[in-house]
Structure formats: C-alpha cells, structure tokens
Copies of this chain bind each other. A is one copy, B any other.
C-alpha cells in the first residue's frame, strides 16, 4: 500500500486539499505549511499516482514513441535525442516496441498526450478512429495519410550522393537497396538514383542495381555479393545503414578494398557510420535536426490541436568520411 496525499495530510495535520496545493506549489498556501508538507511527503516516500492525476487533469505530460524495429539500429541516436528534447520541455517519454496498433492502443489507455511513430518500410495502416482521438506524428513516408508526417527528401539525398561521386571522377555507379514495390521510402531512393544518373547523362545498367529485398544487414550482404561479382562499379550507393554493414562484409570477402577499389556512400546520417570498420561517407538528415523538428511538431500539435500540420520534408546533407575517394588518384 503506497502513501497518498491523505497520509501526508494526516501526518502533517492539514487537510488533503492543502497537501495537494502544497505539492503543486500553489501560491495559495503559506510557505511554512508548504515546507512542512513537503518534508513529511519526502519522509513518507510519497510518489504521486499518475493514474489519479491524469484521470482528473486529462493530461499526462507524456508522449509515447512507437518503435517496433529496435533491431534496426539506425534510430537509436534519434531516440536518445528526442528523449532529451522532450525532457527539456518537461514531458516524459515512454517507448513501446510493439506493433503500431497495439502500442497506440496502450498509449491511449495510459492517457499519453501524443504519440510518435517510427515507421519502417510499408506504411502502418491505422484504424481511422485512432488518429482522430490523439495527436499523432510519424517519422515516415509521405503519402495520403491523415496524420502528419516528418519525412526526408530521399531523392535529394541520393542526388547529393551521386553528385559527390561524380565530382570525385566516378562514372560507373551502382545502387544497392530494397526495391520491394510496397516500400515507398526505399523506392524513392531508388528513383532518386535513376533520376540523378539521368540528369548527369550517365546510363544505369541493369546489373548495376542491387535489390536487397529486405532491410537487414544480411539482405545487404547477399545482394552486395551478387552485385559486386557480376558488375565492377567504381562507386556504390547503399540505401541504409544496415545494408551498408552487409556491403562492407561482402566487400571484405571479395577482397575489394574500400575506398581504394570501391567508393561507398551510405544512406542514413547517423553517428554509427563513424564506428564501422570503415568510416562511411553518408547522406541523410542529421539526427539533431530530425529530433528537433519532430519534437516541436508534436508538442505544437498537442498544445494547439487545431494547428494543421501536414507532411514536412527535411533536407538531407552530405557527411564526408573515409569511404569515398577521388578516382583520379588511382588511374
């Protein structure tokens, strides 16, 4: 049986409504009373009951984050950053690794004020009544969604990568990534590649596209092995962090040195890029920017429920590391 404000009230000889006020730092209570109450509260080891609190206030100052794919490590840094920002705004954040539907149901039950979804691959279809009952923001894929989305200009990102490689003197470029039709985010990247190549007047040979058919490192590994055996590009763009991990592994097995024999640029602008055996040059939106945008967007959605907040496209940047090298030097 945990201690409640009534216990504090009894112990400190005031009414429990006074205790409530004192605990909430109301100006309506005499400083010394407040002090005494706080002391006995502390002494008794009081912890407020959110269930009761939320029940009456209809607010929890908590946001829920739906993150089913924790094994895809590309997002951990983003999660940490978001938690930081949310904390700074005096909110709590709780995570769920369940599927979106289940997680959101739970969050609503717990009376969170808003939820963020990390969508992976195909868009999560939510029951239409869900997003009407609570502010929802997704780090996901633009489309005809009913809830607002923070998305990345994927095409632009790939354009950046292609341009950089061309500047380095490459003309034989390959792309490796998931081309499963249902996954808009991934197909955007692939389309961006075709587009950028065409703009540059370069042709894309059929066997210079590697379809991983999945997003795990192993998918990347298999596809990279296939690709690097049949085709001999001087530069390769990889669709995600995890896929890049597979590419590195494949290259190693095939005794292809990076960047000496092959320049690689990876999608996903995250710190982990620097901790790979070969530091990967990458393109993507820096996570600080993403985090900032997501938090401010969701909080404004919570605090001004009327604010119409549609899809927002974030601008990617190129992060230079050690996996892409000028071709000239090695001619």
Give chain A's interface residues, CB within 8 Å of chain B.
2, 45, 47-55, 60, 62, 70-71, 73, 76-77, 79-80, 83, 87, 92-98, 105-106, 108-111, 127, 129, 133, 217-218, 245-246, 248-249, 252, 275-278
Contacts and interface: CB of A to CB of B under 8 A. Distances in A.
A54 B49 CA distance: 10
Contacts of A245: 275-277
Task: Give 4 nearest A-B pairs by CB, closest first.
Answer: A45-B129, A50-B109, A95-B95, A51-B51
A50 B51 contact: yes
Number of copies: 2
A83 B54 contact: no
Contact of A94 (B49, B53, B54, B94): B94
Contact of A218 (B49, B53, B62, B275): B275
Nearest to A129: B45
A76 B73 contact: yes
Nearest to A56: B51
A218 B248 CA distance: 19
Nearest to A1: B58
A286 B163 CA distance: 45
14 contacts: A2-B133, A51-B52, A51-B55, A51-B111, A62-B106, A70-B76, A70-B80, A92-B96, A94-B96, A245-B275, A245-B277, A246-B275, A249-B276, A277-B277
A216 to B, nearest CB: 8
A288 to B, nearest CB: 15
Contacts of A97: 79-80, 83, 93, 95
Contact of A47 (B62, B77, B80, B109): B109
B98 A95 contact: no
Contact of A71 (B76, B109, B278): B76
B275 A252 contact: no
Contacts of A93: 96-98
B217 A275 contact: yes
A54 B60 CA distance: 15
Contacts of A49: 55, 109, 111
A83 B98 contact: yes
Contact of A50 (B45, B70, B110): B110
A53 B62 CA distance: 18
A97 B82 CA distance: 10
Contacts of A50: 51, 106, 109-111
A51 B62 CA distance: 13
A47 B111 contact: no
Nearest to A274: B218
Given A93-B97, A94-B96, A218-B275, A108 B73 contact: no
A56 to B, nearest CB: 9
A250 B100 CA distance: 40
Nearest to A64: B94
Nearest to A83: B97
Contacts of A76: 70-71, 73
Nearest to A72: B76
Contacts of A92: 96, 98, 106
